[in-house]
Structure 1
């Protein structure tokens, strides 16, 4: 499994991520070609070789030509990204990053995300940093990302909201649940953009995992800092724990299981509560019936999430349930490599999830949410919609096979 580890002793910013990826071998031309699919004009990428404390590094800058119009609200951001001809995972991750940045700004200023007007993050160079960093990892074939604890720097920084302490409030909100530390360096080392990108990419924060390193990149920060190498270092290689005998191509991740026992909840509230958990960072939610002390029937609420979302999920549990205590334990999980595609049906295009095994066998299944939405709109049973999608999948498979490109199908 191709793994990337970011070493963040000088913090992280959007341009440092781009510089590290290009320095590690990402062709700037391929990155630029992908970014040109964004429906914004008047920018280009420029890379140059620099030195930070005698160490060679790459500095990538977004060069703005003229006065191009930039989206100013989250709605504008979503509309712009959805129009881009980018890989679906990059679009999904980009939307997640900007949504989290908007929520962080909203919490800092006590407004709703829809009312956030992007000052720091609503400019073209930051859009390019976010989408470029995510696209760069995809172009390099990176499947798993880890990172070290983040150096925030210290002191004060001037922003459009005035002079603020480091880390600025938005950065602090974005880094909840992530190991961070301050240092004697009087500068903003970790920016909101860098924090949002890295916390969306990284599966875990801590020591570098065992890996066979294939390339190393140094992404230069803007300033020369006396006595400190101001760059972001990336190690890219194969996870040393994996071998060629594995039964399937997969992603290994570390996650956190959060559990609590409930015996006095109105079951009617679970539906909306679970929806909020899933939209707030939960990977999965289960309700398990149990018999508790004194013979009372109860429920074990189980929530699988990432370290980055522990605080948000915990706050939601305490706010919306009757529990007085929560327990946590780390879990490891292995996930089949998955992609998403669409098939044409008589109801229109419907998403299909595709899981890949190591021998090339593909498992395809209709996306339930799409099928449910169509069933609600047309009055058709969900079962019939899903059957239609499976027929469309079979038809597509037969067409491919007839052209001499057989596919294994489970």
Structure 2
């Protein structure tokens, strides 16, 4: 069994909400405060109190420290973390990975490098305390995997150091690439860059609550009061079966089955030629589609047709749709975000008695491996040597497994 945290982000997520929920789950305020003070912040203090949001009890965290105007770079924050003798190595690594997501997003948004990017709000002491505190609490609670609901970001506009921007803020939107976002018409910023980075690093899977035995529930309150719903982050912690949720929240290591999200696009075609569909399929694959399939189907009025299905990474959805509309007669495309379980794999080159052949080595649950010879490479070697594809494949497997 695996100790798993499920982040129920009904009202978004921020650093202070996450830290409060983890403290509500039992993480030690005193330990977190002492660890943060050891980072060169001797006057920092943390208090946690019970509050009510729309009638629901929750924990609210207040971080106090002397005022400052520092805009820190990533290496400054790394030095602060590494300079602490109180923080465990696993928590240090987790905190640095969370900050890494923010730094990469800020660098891309502002067109600079990781070395040169400087943090604004996220470089302030309270944000540093939130991220490092979350890393310390996650490690202390022994959470080894995590998943979350789709993330509502809110809507409208906010004012940051760079002026007025739309919600989600540019850095938040960049961090959440590949993460499912939930529709929300609340005109407030519900998800902050800090909260987005925490979710991005901790959670390997998104969707409804998994099959789990709940051991504890923590409620973390945000600062705002919302009119029609409690401004809370709920974290459920419990036991899940091995392989249900992958990834180690504290160390970032992966279990034998990996999880991600892909988009599936489908359209029915009954007035597009086979040559056009083949051409479109090739264009989709060259543009980065993970898979393209054609399935014969019967459409309305009894006409024969083709169901064109495309699997792609979420950030390629727009380019995939454009290719379908441009190179087929489609006038509509269905699309949906789905979860995908995949086995870890690596590209290899196997030496056979007839020459080298490319393949993929796939790791199965339990640690065993199997290989899949790349067909194009095997057919090439088959033609060059006058043997069969099946023989090339047999030789490659025998060579790989040492038979």
TM range (shorter): 0.5 to 0.7
Kept in 1, the 8 Å contact 2:3–2:237? The answer is yes
The question of whether the paired residues in 2 share the 8 Å contact of 1:255 and 1:333 is answered with no
Alignment of 1:291-330 (within 5 A): 299-300=358-359
The structural deviation recorded for 1:203 is 2.1
Deviation string, structure 1 residues 103-157 (Cα, Å, up to 9, x no partner): 1011111111222121121110011000101110111111111111111111101
Structure 1 match to 2:346? 286
Corresponding residue for residue 198 of structure 1? 199
| CA distance 1:215–1:106, shift in 2 (3 Å) | same
Partner of 1:126: 127
Q: Which runs of 5+ in 2 are unaligned?
A: 244-253, 263-284, 287-342, 368-403
Q: How far apart, in 2, do the equivalents of 1:106 and 1:334 lie? A: 39
Counterparts of 1:127-206 in structure 2, within 5 Å, are: 127-206=128-207
In the alignment, is the contact (CA less than 8 A) between 1:253 and 1:334 conserved in 2?
A: no
The number of residues matched between the two structures is: 275
Q: Deviations over 1:232-252 (max 9, x none)?
A: 00111122569xxxxxxx957
Contact 1:41 1:68 (8 Å CA) reproduced: no
Query: What are the residue-to-residue correspondences of 1:26-175 with 2, within 5 Å?
Result: 26-64=27-65, 66-67=66-67, 70=70, 72-85=72-85, 86-175=87-176
Instruction: State the alpha-carbon separation in 2 of the partners of residues 199 and 2 from structure 1.
Output: 19
Match of 2:313 in 1: none
Task: Tell me, in whole angstroms, the C-alpha distance in 1 between the residues paired with 2:261 and 2:201.
Answer: 19
Secondary structure in 2 matching 1:3: strand
Give the secondary-structure state (helix, strand or coil) at the position aligned to 2:158. Answer: strand
TM-score by length of 1: 0.61
Does the alignment pair 1:255 with 2:315? no
CA contact (8 A) 2:205 2:260 kept: no
C-alpha contact (below 8 Å) 1:254/1:332 kept by paired residues = no
Cα distance in 2 for partners of 1:117, 1:188 equals 22
**2: CA distance, partners of 1:189 / 1:151:** 7
Q: What CA deviation, in whole Å up to 9, does each residue of 1:286-322 have, x standing for no partner?
A: 322379xxx99764578x9xxxxxxxxxxxxxxxxxx
Distance 1:24 1:52 in 2: 18
| 8 Å Cα contact 2:39/2:81 also seen in 1 | yes
CA distance in 2, matches of 1:223, 1:108: 27
Q: Is 2:71–2:118's contact at 8 Å kept on the other side of the alignment?
A: no
Could you say if the C-alpha distance between residues 211 and 231 of structure 1 is closer, same or farther in structure 2, counting changes exceeding 3 Å? same
Deviations 1:219-273 (A, max 9, x none): 001111001111000111122569xxxxxxx957533599x99xxxxxxxxxxxx
Alpha-carbon separation, structure 1, partners of 2:344 and 2:258: 14
Residue number in structure 2 paired with 1:217 = 218
* Distance in 2, Cα, partners of 1:125 & 1:79: 17
Deviations, residues 54-105 of structure 1 (Å, cap 9, x unaligned): 11111112111x2357561111111111111211111111111212211101
Give the aligned partner of residue 239 of structure 2. 238
Higher Rg of the two aligned structures = 2
Query: Partner of 1:12 in structure 2?
Result: 13
* 1:330-374 superposed Cα distances (whole Å, 9 cap, x missing partner): x98579xxxxxxxxxxxxxxxxxxxxxxxxxxxxxxxxxxxxxxx
Task: Determine if contact 1:40/1:70 at 8 Å carries over to the other structure.
Answer: no
SS of alignment partner, residue 50 of structure 1 = strand
Partner SS for 1:106: helix
**Equivalent position of 1:247 in the other structure:** none
For 1:210 and 1:7, the matched residues in 2 are separated by: 14
